[in-house]
Amino acid sequence: MKELLRRLTEAYGPSGHEDEVRDLVRQEVKGLADALTVSPMGSLHAVVNPQGKTKVMVAAHMDEIGLVVSHIDPAGFARFQMIGGLNPQTLVGHRARFANGIRAVIGIEDQEDWTKRATLADLYLDFGVSRAADCPVRVGDIGSFDRPFVGIGPRLIAKAMDDRAGVAVAIETMRRLRRTPHQVQFAFTVQEEVGLRGARTSAFGLNPDIGIALDVTRTGDTPKGPKMAVELGKGPAIKVKDSNLLSDPRLVDLMVRRAEAARVPYQLEVLQAGTTDASVIQLTRAGVPSGCISIPCRYVHTPSEMVDLADVEGAVKLLSAILSRPMDLGRPA
Amino acid sequence: MPAPAARPTRAHLRLLQDLTEAIGVSGAEGPVRAIVRKQVEPHADTVKVDALGNLLVNRRGAGRVRLRVMVSAHMDEVGMMVVSVSSEGLLKFEAVGSIDDRQLLGKPVWVGADRLPGFIGAKPIHLMSDDETEQTVKVESMSIDIGSGSKTAAEAKVKPGDRATFATRFRRLGPSVMAKALDDRLGVATLIELVQNPPDGIELLAAFTVQEEVGLRGARAAAFSLDPQAALALDCTPANDLPSWDGEENIAYNTRLGNGPAIYAADGRSLAHPGLLEHFIHTAESQGLAFQIRQPGGGATDAGVIHVARSGIPSLSLSTPARYPHSAAGIASLSDWRDTARLAHAALSTLTERTLRRS
C-alpha cells in the first residue's frame, strides 16, 4: 500500500493532464475489472461484476492541483495562474514540474522583504534561463509540484495525497474485494480540483443507483487548526456534510453499521469548506443517493499533504465491508 | 469548400453592421435570431428554435461525414432591463449581465423593441461639489430619460422588463471596427459563415445560443439536445493590451489586438481538450495563420457548460479579441476576425476522431 501510494503521489497529474496517473491506475487494475473504459473527459471506468443489479459508483479523482503559465517576460521568467485552489503562502521556494520533465523554482518579487504576504501576482517561475527565447514552456502549459514521497513512521507525506490516497483505496479495494452482489463502477475521475467536472460526466454515463466518493478531508488536530472533530490516525471519516453535500442519511447509517460490524475505527465528518465528487454525483439525472468516505489529511493543497497509513487501510476495510454485502437503502428517510 | 476570404468583403461588413446594431439583450434575442435565420436558411439542412430560443442549424459538409461537431456562438449581449417608471417618467433599470457601473453614466441608449432613444443622465458638472466629482455613481441611482415628461406618457411606451442597450452605430476604423455587442456578434458572424461555407467531412451543428451573459444557460440545453462528438465555442474575449497606467510591464493583457484569434488553454469554467488544443495550434502554424494563446485565468464561454454535458464532450474555445467589451463600444481588428473564421474552417475541415482520443 505504501509503495502504491509512493508511485501514485509521485506521478504527474494536474487537472486536465491525468494521463500518467491513468496509465498507472490502468496497470494496477488490469485483470481486476470486467470492463475498462475511458470517458470522453478522460476518466477511467473499471466495472466489477456487471451482472450485479444495484449499480454502485465509487469515485476517486486522479487529478491534483497545479498551475498554468500565463505570461513569459523578456528575461524568461513566467507568470502563472492557479489550477484548483492554492494558497500562495505555501508556494514560495517550491519547485514546479511540467509534463515533459521540465522543472522550475517558484520565486517571489521583492524577496528581501520577509514580512510580505505573497499573492499570486507576486510569484513567478524561474526555469534557469535568461531570455524568453530559451524559456522551455509556452503560455497555456500546465504544471504541478515536485516533491518526493516520504514516510515518517505511520505518517505519509507527499504532494497530491489529495486524492491519490482515494485512488489507492479504490485500487486496493478492487484487489481485496472477493465477492460483491453489486455492479461496482470504480470511476477514477478527472478535473475534480477545477470544479468536479469529471465526476459529473462519469455519473451521467454510468447512471448509478448509489454514489460513494473517496477523497481526503481536513483535520482539526493541528495547532490553532480549524474547529473540526476529525483527527489523523482515528480511522476513515464518514462524511455527514460538506459545503455542497448532505450525505444521504441512509447511506451514512449503513456506513456506520458496516464500520462497527467490521470493527473498523471511524469518525464522523462535518466539513465546513470544501466538497467532493459526491456532490455532483448526487445531482445527476433524477438524483443518486450519495455519500463519501474521507481520509483525514493535514496540509491539504500544499506540496506536503500528510495522511496516516492506518486511516488509509481503514478506508479499504470499510469500503470492502460496504460493497461485499447487499446495500438496500429502503425508502427515503 | 474554399477557405473563407482573408480580407473582409462589403457583405461581411454589412452583416457585422446589422448584427451589432440589433438589440439582443439576454433573454430577448429575437431581433438577432431573425437576422441569423435569414442568413442561414438558404444553406441549412434543418433549422429549428428550441424551447429557450437557441437557433439550432444542421449543415453537412462535403464528403463522408467523420464527426458531428457542435459550434456555438451566443446571440445575446449585456445590456439593461427597465424595472420601474418613476413619478417623473424616468426609467429605473438594472444591468443584465456584467457591466461596470462607470460604463453606464452619460450614455445614449435604445429602449425596447421600438428602439426608443433615451439617455442615462448625470448631474451637470456645473452643479457638482468637489466631493461629488470624486464619487462613483451606482446603477441604483441612475435613470434612463426618454424625454416623456410624465409617468403616464412613459408608461404608454415602456413597461418593466423591456430591454435597453447602448445606442452605438457600427463604424469601420481603417483596419478595425468599432461597435457595441462585438461580444459575441463577431462569433455569430463567423458561425453564419461556417453554415454558408461548411467545412468538409463534418456534420456542423451550429448553435446560435441565448443567455450566455447571464450564466451560459442556452448552450447547456443546446449541448444536451445536440449530443455532439466535439464542440467549438466561438466567442469574443477582452484585449486589455494598453500600457499600464503606472508604466509597469502589462502582464495581464488577456489578449492583444492584431495578434490573431485567441485559442483557450484554460479559463474559469473549462480546460481545453488537449487533442483539440494541439490540433488548432498545429492548423494555425501549418496554414500560416496568426494566433495567440489567451492568457489562462477566469472568464468563461459556452464551452464551460458544453464540455460537461451528458458523458462529456471534447471542447475548445476560440475568440476574436476586442478592446472594451461590455461597454458602449468595443474595437476589434478585422484581420483577427478573418483569421478566426479561417482557422475555425481549416481546423474543422481536418478534424478526425483520432484528435479526440484519450490514451
What stretches of B158-226 adopt beta strand conformation (E)? 163-166, 171-173, 176-179, 202-209
> How far, in Å, CA of A181 to CA of A39, rounded?
25
> How many residues can be counted in chain A?
333
CATH number of the domain where residue A132 is located: 2.40.30.40
> How far, in Å, CA of A105 to CA of B266, rounded?
22
Check whether residue A183 and residue A312 sit in a common domain.
yes
Residues with Cβ within 8 Å of B29's Cβ and at least 6 positions away in sequence, in order, are: B53, B75, B76, B210
Flag whether A275 is in a domain.
Answer: yes
Same fold, B10-77+180-244+252-356 and B79-166: no
Check whether residue A88 and residue A203 sit in a common domain.
no
DSSP A134: G
> Which pLDDT belongs to residue A100?
85
pLDDT higher than 80, residue A180: yes
B-chain CB neighbours of A22 within 8 Å are 358-359
Contacts with B, A 233-272, CB within 8 Å:
none
Check whether residue A39 and residue A99 sit in a common domain.
no
Check whether residue A170 and residue A129 sit in a common domain.
no
* 8 Å CB contact between A8 and A168: yes
C-alpha cell at B175: 483596419
Q: Tell me whether residues B295 and A201 touch, CB distance under 8 A.
A: no
**CA angle in degrees (0–180, nearest 5) for B117-B118-B124:** 145
User: Active-site residue among A18, A192, A269, A305?
Assistant: A192
Domain that holds residue A110: 73-138
Q: What's the total number of domains in chain A?
A: 2
Flag whether A318 is in a domain.
Answer: yes
State mean pLDDT over A146-175.
97
> Which pLDDT belongs to residue B133?
85
Query: Closest approach of chain B CAs to the CA of A168, in angstroms?
Result: 21
Interface membership of A164 toward B (CB under 8 Å): no
Check whether residue A106 and residue A160 sit in a common domain.
no
CATH architecture of B10-77+180-244+252-356: 3-Layer(aba) Sandwich (3.40)
Alpha carbon A191 to its chain centroid, in Å, reads 10
pLDDT confidence band for B128 (50 / 70 / 90): confident
* 8 Å CB contact between A135 and A76: yes
> How far, in Å, CA of B237 to CA of B256, rounded?
10
Q: What pTM was estimated for this model as a whole?
A: 0.94
Check whether residue A101 and residue A165 sit in a common domain.
no
Check whether residue A20 and residue A47 sit in a common domain.
yes
**pLDDT tens digits along B211-238:** 999 999 999 999 999 999 999 999 999 9
Query: Closest approach of chain A CAs to the CA of B280, in angstroms?
Result: 14
Contacts with B, A 196-215, CB within 8 Å:
197-198, 200-202, 204-205
A-chain CB neighbours of B308 within 8 Å are 41, 197, 200-201
Least CB–CB distance from B295: residue in A73, A139, A141: A139
Check whether residue A57 and residue A80 sit in a common domain.
no
Flag whether A234 is in a domain.
Answer: yes
A-chain CB neighbours of B314 within 8 Å are 40
pLDDT higher than 80, residue A42: yes
SS3 (DSSP) at A153: coil
pLDDT confidence band for A333 (50 / 70 / 90): low
Query: Closest approach of chain A CAs to the CA of B4, in angstroms?
Result: 28
Query: Closest approach of chain A CAs to the CA of B89, in angstroms?
Result: 45
DSSP B77: B
Average per-residue pLDDT for chain A = 96
Q: Tell me whether residues A16 and B271 touch, CB distance under 8 A.
A: yes
> Which pLDDT belongs to residue B246?
84
- Among A327, A84, A92, which residue's Cα sits nearest to residue A198? A84
State mean pLDDT over B181-208.
98
C-alpha cell at A244: 455542497
pLDDT higher than 80, residue B359: no
Instruction: State the count of interchain CB pairs (< 8 A) between A and B.
Output: 86
> Which pLDDT belongs to residue A114?
84
CATH number of the domain where residue A211 is located: 3.40.630.10
Phi, psi (5° rounding) for residue A223? Answer: -55, 125
> Which pLDDT belongs to residue B305?
98
Q: Is there a catalytic annotation at residue A192?
A: yes
Write the CA distances from B111 to B23, B94, B150, B160, integer angstroms.
Answer: 9, 13, 17, 11
**pLDDT tens digits along A97-144:** 998 899 999 999 988 888 888 899 999 999 999 999 999 999 999 999
> How far, in Å, CA of B81 to CA of B220, rounded?
24
Percent of chain A with pLDDT over 70: 99
Q: Tell me whether residues B266 and A69 touch, CB distance under 8 A.
A: no
Q: Tell me whether residues B311 and A83 touch, CB distance under 8 A.
A: no
> Which pLDDT belongs to residue B127?
85
State mean pLDDT over B52-70.
97
* 8 Å CB contact between B29 and B76: yes
DSSP strand pairing (A183-189 vs A44-48)? antiparallel
- Among A246, A237, A242, which residue's Cα sits nearest to residue A216? A237
Least CB–CB distance from A68: residue in B265, B313, B358: B265
Q: Tell me whether residues A201 and B249 touch, CB distance under 8 A.
A: no
Alpha carbon A316 to its chain centroid, in Å, reads 15
- Among A210, A230, A212, which residue's Cα sits nearest to residue A220? A230
Interface membership of A67 toward B (CB under 8 Å): no
Check whether residue A256 and residue A205 sit in a common domain.
yes
Structure ipTM: 0.91
Task: Determine the CATH number of domain B79-166.
Answer: 2.40.30.40
Q: Tell me whether residues A40 and B311 touch, CB distance under 8 A.
A: yes
DSSP A236: P
pLDDT confidence band for A258 (50 / 70 / 90): very high
List residues in chain B touching A: CB distance below 8 A: 249, 251-252, 263, 265-266, 269-272, 274, 277, 293, 295-297, 307-314, 356, 358-359
Check whether residue A306 and residue A220 sit in a common domain.
yes
Write the CA distances from A242 to A93, A270, B58, integer angstroms.
Answer: 32, 6, 43
Check whether residue A21 and residue A42 sit in a common domain.
yes
Alpha-helix runs per DSSP H in chain A: 2-10, 19-29, 161-176, 197-206, 249-261, 278-282, 309-323
C-alpha cell at A134: 530559451
* 8 Å CB contact between A68 and A81: yes
DSSP A199: H
State mean pLDDT over A58-66.
98
Query: Closest approach of chain B CAs to the CA of A121, in angstroms?
Result: 9
Domain positions in chain B: 10-77+180-244+252-356, 79-166
Of A138, A164, A191, the position where a domain reaches its end is A138
Query: A5-9, A88-92, A275-279, B87-91: which range is least confident on average?
Result: A88-92
Check whether residue A172 and residue A43 sit in a common domain.
yes
Least CB–CB distance from A79: residue in B251, B274, B310: B251
A-chain CB neighbours of B356 within 8 Å are 40
Flag whether A329 is in a domain.
Answer: no
Give me the sign of the Cα torsion angle A232, A235, A239, A244: positive
- Among A319, A241, A249, which residue's Cα sits nearest to residue A275? A241
Angle between helix axes B10-21 and B182-196 (nearest 10 degrees) is: 130
Q: Tell me whether residues A197 and B307 touch, CB distance under 8 A.
A: yes
At A297, the amino acid letter reads C
pLDDT higher than 80, residue A24: yes
pLDDT higher than 70, residue A207: yes
**CA angle in degrees (0–180, nearest 5) for B211-B213-B215:** 75
> Which pLDDT belongs to residue B214?
97
